[in-house]
């Protein structure tokens, strides 16, 4: 059954009602009688959500004096408790997809789940779109095999296509089978405003520093405020800035996924006890967590997808009958446009959940290994079981067999590993694990989340000896961020100003650096592209001066200036401006397709410009526009017909150029790395020692290069390409855009920079070069040194 | 005359370097060529590393030997050395030569035909490779240069070694670039690892302490088409 209801409708509790009723009627276990298995399994995408549900569900259960035990089981659950749970399972187990994978891969899975009646899947709409969703779908298929009478209950926010979720919830035999659907109509409309500030809205940047005082006043005027931002560094920055102006010392806290678990729990508990006036948070607090009495949500930065916005606004006033209140704080002028569009989209109830994609083969490989760990399996029977899961309903048996072969011997064309097989066929034809240590390896590496290497941040005394014992752990930061630091650099983390002292193994040593100016980590942004819908809205707003009345005066004025100095494109057109500046020639375009898509476009455009003899030097992408610069006079070349815009933006750039570029690209290597780790080719963790992400990266790149040359048809390369094609939303976005703008490219030659071009031009120099320019960078280092030596 | 020559070798623009007064060429594929001896040096091939990992349940692709030999063949084809010296850890383990699939063995034998071949032993392959021709030595001196697998402690003029898999990192425009490198200070040289599956160890690691005269240290980082000479002051840990 699929239950769709807006946030605040109480759907989680509703999801448990059948289970609670059933449990209340159940006769008591007599002393001496064997422990019963789990009755109801609840799966959520977030550990924090499971913990939160435990709190919210225990209260009514205790009040009603129901004889029901409720426990969580997540990655944070101590070993002894997990052991105990296996012997004496709780009636209701609250868990995550990874824990389910581990449970079904154990030898006593059939006993543990023998009494299972219900599976409740929370926030289903957000689970199903990822590889975690694939893992969960496979786990569910196994549960259905263990308990054919199993009932699934899916809980979801409003989605565009509920039928996809309905199929997902039930066995796909016959194909197309759908779960029943219950839809609860939306509650009171939220009241959303865009922050009106007297201050000047900046042209570029993501800090929203200009609005801090206004934001602080809003916090003061409400009981409890949740402040959402898009990245961790924005959260740190906003937190710091708020405390700078916090003259009333209001209790304002910080919460993001990189912080130490103990610190996060403290904030969550304080929040529940209504002891906080505001919490600055990233997506860790994003999903339906119900804490405290929030009466205002402030969103800083562009909210990107409209359904993200809806989700986040659902946080305030968790009651159906009262409207939620939210304030959007755009950090720059383009974000003003985007916020306006998002606001109108929310009133229209527009939804944009990404479409479901077919199950990934690397996840399947992991599952196959897990099933061998549980018990020897018959390949044909397992294929049929797996096909009952919606994401794998269209899986070919031949492909399945290749994945089994991959799990066994690596699946290489050069068949030299038969004697090292991890799973082997018995005389009866069943596949079984060939050595217990492979089962141990599987258990250590289960899951589909492949993160960048994270380093522990440890606070020591300034100048203190690294590697000395002690020092408080503040949380974790990405290796990529740390490597840009040198000794003595300062940065914001865990709400503190820190000084970088050094790295040792997987620990970063820092000391307090109060009172200094931070070298704020660069905005990693662009993770979330604008939804297609939102991008279209922004374009049509630009094209229609009547709609500018809804915009702040200075932003409307900016657009007026653009109209005067250059032009504003029609909603269907792509505007291409060219102008000289310094000794270079610039081309700026405004596709509004999101930063990732623009980066890809920039990469492909520079290739073509190179071939056309325009001598491109570089490019920079923002969420809204793309700037390319060259030695050659791009404007003159276009005007004279030497450079044809329609040829430059021809759709075939996604064919020939894309394939050539993609095969070499960092992006494909990273996709391969994820596939290699998930499929078990490379271990995240090895019994006894942890591999750091860096080591994984290096070897995965080497493996990719070797595999691509020597076994181009390998199943893992298929998986990688499928991921790249399906997962890389930006490439599809680009394809759609190229076909949309055919015949609609408008060139505007200018003799100077236009108002609309200012934001992207400000990014030049701030932005690090992306792409395949490693050799260029090395040669720059050499050239710097030569200049130094010669001057 | 190019910039580098005018600057008396401070920043060589070519892969040309000197080791204890002798001229050598650093090939960006990771091999060292000594023209006056017509000698090619490669180090840490780690052949059959893939199958070595497979024995422990990590089913890495079994093609690393092929990839390494293909690259070596290309270098040999370009430079036509009369002698090839493999500076230790030629095979990832002692059983490697025995496990090598037949057609890879053929490929290697074809490379060895018509030239002298010296296997210097390493910690991974302390014995001579089973069933392969070529001379075997723990250490060898040629024309004032000493070749051995593990670098000896302290400053050692004229020593060419491998073992440490030197790599270097620079940060330029906020972006980190990591490459394998020849580590050199004009007196001694440590070769980059040549094998397809070999990782690298940053030259700023403790393992290199005391080996080089730091003020003259240069990491010759392997680019796609040439070698880039980066002085120690620009290098970063990581």
Domains and CATH numbers, chain B: 3-144+158-234 (3.60.21)
B99, closest residue in chain A (CA to CA): A416
All residues of chain B having their beta carbon less than 8 Å from the beta carbon of residue A709 are 63, 67
Is the pLDDT assigned to residue A310 strictly greater than 50? Answer: yes
Out of B64, B176, B229, whose CB is closest to A483?
A: B176
Out of B54, B169, B177, whose CB is closest to A417?
A: B54
Last-in-domain residue among A348, A380, A404: A348
Could you tell me if A237 and A110 lie in one domain?
no
DSSP per residue, A498-544: EEEEEEETTEEEEEE-TTSPP-PPPP---SSPPPHHHHHHHHHHHH-
Could you tell me if A140 and A198 lie in one domain?
no
Q: Does residue A257 lie in a domain region?
A: yes
Out of A438, A777, A789, whose CB is closest to B172?
A: A777
> How far is the CA of A639 from the CAs of A114, A206, A430, A575, A757, in angstroms?
75, 36, 70, 15, 20
All residues of chain A having their beta carbon less than 8 Å from the beta carbon of residue B232 are none
pLDDT of residue B10: 33
Q: Does residue A362 lie in a domain region?
A: no
Rounded distance, CA A638 to CA A748, Å?
A: 10
Is the pLDDT assigned to residue A132 strictly greater than 60? Answer: yes
pLDDT of residue A770: 40
Mark yes or no for CB contact A417/B59 under 8 Å.
Answer: yes
Quick one: average pLDDT of A254-280?
84
Instruction: Phi first, then psi: give them for residue A388, nearest 5 degrees.
Output: -75, -20
Could you tell me if A89 and A148 lie in one domain?
yes
Lowest mean per-residue pLDDT among A115-129, A161-175, A293-307, A322-336: A293-307
All residues of chain B having their beta carbon less than 8 Å from the beta carbon of residue A775 are 223-225, 228
Could you tell me if A128 and A277 lie in one domain?
no
Q: Please, which residues have CB within 8 angstroms of residue A123's CB and are 6 or more apart in sequence?
A: A44, A45, A46, A49, A155, A156, A157, A287, A288
The CA-CA-CA angle for residues A40, A44, A49, to 5°, reads 110
Residue A704 to chain B, least CA–CA distance (Å): 9
Lowest mean per-residue pLDDT among A55-59, A282-286, B158-162: A282-286
Mark yes or no for CB contact B174/A707 under 8 Å.
Answer: no
pLDDT tens readout for residues A182-236: 988 766 677 888 888 888 888 777 778 889 999 999 999 999 898 988 777 788 8
Is the pLDDT assigned to residue A787 strictly greater than 60? Answer: yes
Is the pLDDT assigned to residue A311 strictly greater than 50? Answer: yes
Is the pLDDT assigned to residue A695 strictly greater than 60? Answer: no
pLDDT of residue A464: 60
Expressed as residue numbers, the domain containing A478 is 454-512
Sort strands A325-329 and A296-300 into parallel, antiparallel or unpaired.
Answer: parallel
Peptide bond before residue A174 is cis, with ω within 30 degrees of 0: yes
Rounded distance, CA A105 to CA A367, Å?
A: 9
Is the pLDDT assigned to residue A526 strictly greater than 60? Answer: no
All residues of chain A having their beta carbon less than 8 Å from the beta carbon of residue B175 are 768-770, 777
ipTM of predicted assembly, 2 dp: 0.86
pLDDT of residue B174: 60
Could you tell me if A170 and A46 lie in one domain?
yes
pLDDT of residue A295: 85
Mark yes or no for CB contact A503/B238 under 8 Å.
Answer: yes
Could you tell me if A172 and A246 lie in one domain?
no
pLDDT of residue A481: 67
Out of B62, B177, B197, whose CB is closest to A702?
A: B197
Lowest mean per-residue pLDDT among A308-312, A414-418, A495-499, B199-203: A308-312
Residue recorded with tokens 């089994």: A404
Q: Please provide the average confidence, as pLDDT, over all residues in chain A.
A: 82
Rounded distance, CA A622 to CA B201, Å?
A: 36
Out of B7, B60, B177, whose CB is closest to A703?
A: B60
* Residues making up chain A, counted from first to last: 791
Mark yes or no for CB contact A782/B228 under 8 Å.
Answer: yes
Instruction: Phi first, then psi: give them for residue A621, nearest 5 degrees.
Output: -120, 140
Mark yes or no for CB contact A698/B170 under 8 Å.
Answer: no
Burial zone of A280 (CB within 10 Å; 0-12 exposed, 13-18 middle, 19+ buried): buried
Closest Cα to residue A103, out of A133, A128, A135, A134? A135
Could you tell me if A101 and A8 lie in one domain?
yes
Where residue A506 falls among pLDDT bands split at 50, 70, 90? low
All residues of chain A having their beta carbon less than 8 Å from the beta carbon of residue B55 are 420
A714, closest residue in chain B (CA to CA): B61
Out of A416, A486, A782, whose CB is closest to B230?
A: A782
B67, closest residue in chain A (CA to CA): A706
Out of B10, B177, B224, whose CB is closest to A789?
A: B10
pLDDT of residue A691: 44
Residue A441 to chain B, least CA–CA distance (Å): 9
Is the pLDDT assigned to residue B52 strictly greater than 80? Answer: yes
Is the pLDDT assigned to residue A59 strictly greater than 90? Answer: no
Classified as helix, coil or strand, A205 is: coil
* Percent of all residues in chain A with a pLDDT value above 70, rounded to a whole number: 81
Mark yes or no for CB contact A785/B11 under 8 Å.
Answer: yes
Quick one: average pLDDT of B149-167?
94
The pair of structure tokens assigned to A625 is: 């526009």
- Are the beta carbons of A27 and A39 closer than 8 angstroms? no
Closest Cα to residue B164, out of B179, B185, B149, B177? B149
Instruction: Give the CATH number of the domain where residue A208 resides.
Output: 3.40.50.300
Residue B176 to chain A, least CA–CA distance (Å): 7
pLDDT tens readout for residues A25-44: 888 777 777 778 899 999 98
All residues of chain B having their beta carbon less than 8 Å from the beta carbon of residue A691 are none
Mark yes or no for CB contact A777/B177 under 8 Å.
Answer: yes
Quick one: average pLDDT of A687-707?
63
| Total beta-carbon pairs less than 8 A apart between chain A and chain B | 136
pLDDT tens readout for residues A89-106: 999 999 999 999 999 999
Mark yes or no for CB contact B7/A769 under 8 Å.
Answer: no
Is the pLDDT assigned to residue A761 strictly greater than 60? Answer: yes
All residues of chain A having their beta carbon less than 8 Å from the beta carbon of residue B171 are 483-484
- Are the beta carbons of B61 and B209 closer than 8 angstroms? no
Burial zone of A646 (CB within 10 Å; 0-12 exposed, 13-18 middle, 19+ buried): exposed
Q: Does residue A296 lie in a domain region?
A: yes
Q: Does residue A591 lie in a domain region?
A: no
Could you tell me if A54 and A130 lie in one domain?
yes
Could you tell me if A243 and A147 lie in one domain?
no
Where residue A7 falls among pLDDT bands split at 50, 70, 90? low
- Are the beta carbons of B191 and B182 closer than 8 angstroms? yes
Quick one: average pLDDT of A690-707?
65
Q: Does residue A241 lie in a domain region?
A: yes
Residue B140 to chain A, least CA–CA distance (Å): 32
Last-in-domain residue among A122, A153, A183: A183
Lowest mean per-residue pLDDT among A325-334, A441-450, A529-538: A529-538
Mark yes or no for CB contact B197/A710 under 8 Å.
Answer: no
Mark yes or no for CB contact B237/A503 under 8 Å.
Answer: yes
B65, closest residue in chain A (CA to CA): A706
Q: Does residue A370 lie in a domain region?
A: no
pLDDT of residue A393: 96
Most confident of A278-282, A364-368, A601-605, A755-759: A364-368
Residue from A777, A780, A786 to probe the interface with B (highest B Cβ count within 10 Å)? A777
Q: Please tell me chain B's helix, strand, coil percentages from 3-state DSSP, rounded to the nearest 5.
A: 20, 30, 45
Could you tell me if A52 and A132 lie in one domain?
yes
Count of the separate structural domains present in chain A = 3
Q: Which comes out higher in pLDDT, residue B63 or A464?
A: B63
All residues of chain A having their beta carbon less than 8 Å from the beta carbon of residue B193 are none
Could you tell me if A178 and A234 lie in one domain?
no
pLDDT of residue A73: 93
Out of B58, B64, B199, whose CB is closest to A683?
A: B58
Residue from A778, A784, A791 to probe the interface with B (highest B Cβ count within 10 Å)? A778
Where residue A452 falls among pLDDT bands split at 50, 70, 90? low
Residue from A362, A403, A415, A420 to probe the interface with B (highest B Cβ count within 10 Å)? A420
Mark yes or no for CB contact B199/A699 under 8 Å.
Answer: yes
Lowest mean per-residue pLDDT among A64-68, A198-202, A217-221, A774-778: A774-778
pLDDT of residue A103: 96
Out of B58, B64, B236, whose CB is closest to A706?
A: B64
- Are the beta carbons of B207 and B149 closer than 8 angstroms? no
pLDDT of residue A306: 59
Where residue A768 falls among pLDDT bands split at 50, 70, 90? very low
Mark yes or no for CB contact B67/A435 under 8 Å.
Answer: no
Classified as helix, coil or strand, A657 is: helix
Is the pLDDT assigned to residue B12 strictly greater than 50? Answer: no
All residues of chain A having their beta carbon less than 8 Å from the beta carbon of residue B63 are 412, 414, 706-707, 709-711
All residues of chain B having their beta carbon less than 8 Å from the beta carbon of residue A769 are 173, 175
Q: Does residue A169 lie in a domain region?
A: yes
Residue A617 to chain B, least CA–CA distance (Å): 14
Q: Does residue A531 lie in a domain region?
A: no
Mark yes or no for CB contact A710/B221 under 8 Å.
Answer: no
Could you tell me if A24 and A169 lie in one domain?
yes
Last-in-domain residue among A464, A483, A512: A512
Out of B62, B174, B197, whose CB is closest to A768?
A: B174
Out of A483, A702, A706, whose CB is closest to B238?
A: A483
Rounded distance, CA A596 to CA A743, Å?
A: 24
């Amino acid at each position: 059954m699929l239950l769709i209801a807006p946030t605040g409708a109480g759907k989680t509790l509703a999801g448990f009602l059948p289970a609670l009723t059933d449990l209340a009627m159940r006769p008591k276990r007599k002393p001496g009688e064997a422990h019963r298995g789990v009755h109801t399994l609840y799966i959520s995408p977030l550990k924090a959500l499971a913990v939160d549900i435990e709190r919210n569900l225990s209260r009514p259960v205790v009040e009603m004096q129901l004889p029901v035990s409720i426990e969580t089981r997540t990655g944070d659950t101590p070993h002894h408790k997990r052991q105990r749970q296996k012997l004496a399972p709780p009636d209701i187990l609250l868990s995550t997809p990874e824990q389910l994978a581990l449970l079904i891969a154990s030898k006593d899975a059939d006993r543990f789940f023998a009494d299972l009646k219900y599976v409740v899947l929370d926030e289903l709409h957000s689970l199903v779109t990822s590889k975690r969703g694939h893992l969960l779908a496979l786990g569910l298929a196994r549960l259905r095999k263990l308990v054919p009478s199993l009932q699934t209950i899916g809980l979801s926010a409003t989605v565009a296509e509920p039928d996809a979720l309905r199929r997902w919830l039930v066995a796909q035999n016959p194909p197309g089978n759908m779960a029943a659907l219950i839809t609860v109509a939306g509650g009171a409309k939220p009241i959303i405003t865009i922050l009106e500030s007297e201050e000047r809205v900046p042209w570029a940047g993501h800090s929203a520093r200009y609005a801090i005082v206004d934001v602080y006043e809003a916090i003061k005027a409400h009981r409890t405020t949740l402040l959402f931002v898009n990245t961790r560094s924005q959260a740190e920055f906003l937190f710091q800035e708020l405390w700078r102006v916090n003259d009333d010392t209001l209790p304002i806290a910080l919460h993001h996924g990189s912080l130490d678990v103990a610190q996060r729990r403290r904030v969550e508990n304080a929040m529940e006890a209504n002891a906080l006036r505001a919490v600055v948070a990233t997506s860790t607090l994003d999903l339906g967590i119900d804490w405290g009495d929030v009466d205002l949500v402030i969103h800083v930065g562009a909210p990107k997808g409209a359904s993200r916005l809806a989700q986040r606004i659902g946080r305030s006033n968790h009651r159906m009958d009262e409207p939620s209140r939210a304030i959007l704080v755009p950090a720059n002028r383009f974000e003003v446009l985007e916020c306006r569009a998002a606001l109108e989209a929310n009133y229209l109830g527009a939804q944009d959940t990404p479409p479901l994609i077919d199950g990934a083969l690397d996840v399947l490989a992991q599952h196959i290994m897990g099933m061998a760990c549980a018990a020897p399996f018959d390949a044909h029977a397992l294929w049929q079981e797996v096909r009952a899961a919606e994401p794998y309903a269209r899986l070919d048996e031949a492909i399945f067999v290749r994945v089994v072969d991959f799990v066994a011997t690596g699946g290489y064309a050069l068949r030299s590993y038969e004697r090292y097989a991890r799973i082997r066929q018995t005389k009866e034809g069943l596949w079984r694990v060939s050595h217990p240590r492979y089962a141990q390896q599987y258990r250590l590496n289960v899951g589909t989340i492949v993160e960048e290497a994270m380093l522990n941040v440890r606070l020591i005394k300034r100048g203190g000896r690294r590697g000395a014992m002690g020092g408080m752990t503040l949380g974790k930061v990405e290796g990529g961020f740390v490597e840009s630091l040198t000794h003595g650099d300062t940065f914001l983390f865990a709400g503190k100003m820190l000084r970088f002292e050094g790295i040792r193994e997987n620990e970063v040593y820092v000391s307090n650096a109060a009172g200094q100016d931070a070298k704020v980590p660069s905005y990693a942004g662009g993770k979330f592209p604008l939804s297609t819908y939102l991008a279209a809205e922004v374009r049509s707003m630009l094209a229609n001066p009547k709609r500018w009345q809804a915009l702040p005066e200075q932003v409307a004025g900016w657009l007026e200036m653009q109209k005067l100095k250059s032009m504003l494109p029609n909603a269907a057109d792509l505007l291409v401006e060219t102008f000289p500046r310094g000794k270079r020639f610039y081309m700026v375009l405004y596709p509004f397709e999101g930063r990732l898509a623009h980066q890809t476009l920039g990469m492909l455009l520079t290739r073509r410009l190179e071939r056309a003899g325009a001598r491109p030097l570089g490019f920079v992408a923002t969420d809204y526009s793309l700037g390319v610069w060259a030695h050659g006079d791009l404007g003159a070349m276009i005007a004279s017909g030497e450079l044809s815009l329609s040829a430059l933006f021809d759709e075939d750039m996604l064919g020939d150029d894309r394939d050539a570029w993609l095969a070499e690209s960092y992006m494909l290597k990273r996709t391969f790395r994820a596939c290699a780790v998930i499929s078990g080719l490379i271990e995240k963790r090895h019994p006894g020692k942890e591999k750091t992400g860096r080591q994984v990266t290096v070897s995965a790149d080497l493996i990719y290069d070797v595999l691509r040359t020597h076994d181009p048809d390998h199943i893992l390369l298929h998986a990688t390409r499928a991921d790249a094609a399906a997962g890389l939303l930006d490439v599809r976005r680009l394809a759609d855009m190229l076909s949309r703008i055919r015949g609609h490219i408008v060139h505007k030659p200018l003799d100077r920079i236009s108002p609309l071009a200012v934001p992207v031009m400000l990014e030049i120099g701030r932005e690090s070069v992306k792409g395949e320019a490693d050799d260029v960078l090395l040669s720059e280092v050499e050239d710097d040194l030569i200049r130094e030596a010669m001057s | 005359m190019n910039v580098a020559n005018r600057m008396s070798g401070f920043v060589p623009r070519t892969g040309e370097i000197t080791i204890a007064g002798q001229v050598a060429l650093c090939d960006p594929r990771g091999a060292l060529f000594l023209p006056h001896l017509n000698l090619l040096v490669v180090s840490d091939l780690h052949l059959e590393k893939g199958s070595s990992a497979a024995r422990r349940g990590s089913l890495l692709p079994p093609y690393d030997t092929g990839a390494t030999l293909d690259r070596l063949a290309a270098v040999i084809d370009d430079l036509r050395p009369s002698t090839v010296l493999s500076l230790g850890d030629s095979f990832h383990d002692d059983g490697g030569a025995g496990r090598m699939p037949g057609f890879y063995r053929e490929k290697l034998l074809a490379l060895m035909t018509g030239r002298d071949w010296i296997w210097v032993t390493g910690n991974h392959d302390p014995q001579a490779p089973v069933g392969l021709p070529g001379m075997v030595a723990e250490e060898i001196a040629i024309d004032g240069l000493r070749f051995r697998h593990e670098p000896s402690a302290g400053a050692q003029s004229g020593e060419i070694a491998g073992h440490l898999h030197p790599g270097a990192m620079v940060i330029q425009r906020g972006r980190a670039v990591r490459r394998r490198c020849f580590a050199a200070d004009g007196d001694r040289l440590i070769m980059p690892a040549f094998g397809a599956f070999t990782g690298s160890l940053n030259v700023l690691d403790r393992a290199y302490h005391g080996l080089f005269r730091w003020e003259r240290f240069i990491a010759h980082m392997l680019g796609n088409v040439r070698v880039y000479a980066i002085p120690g002051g620009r290098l970063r840990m990581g």
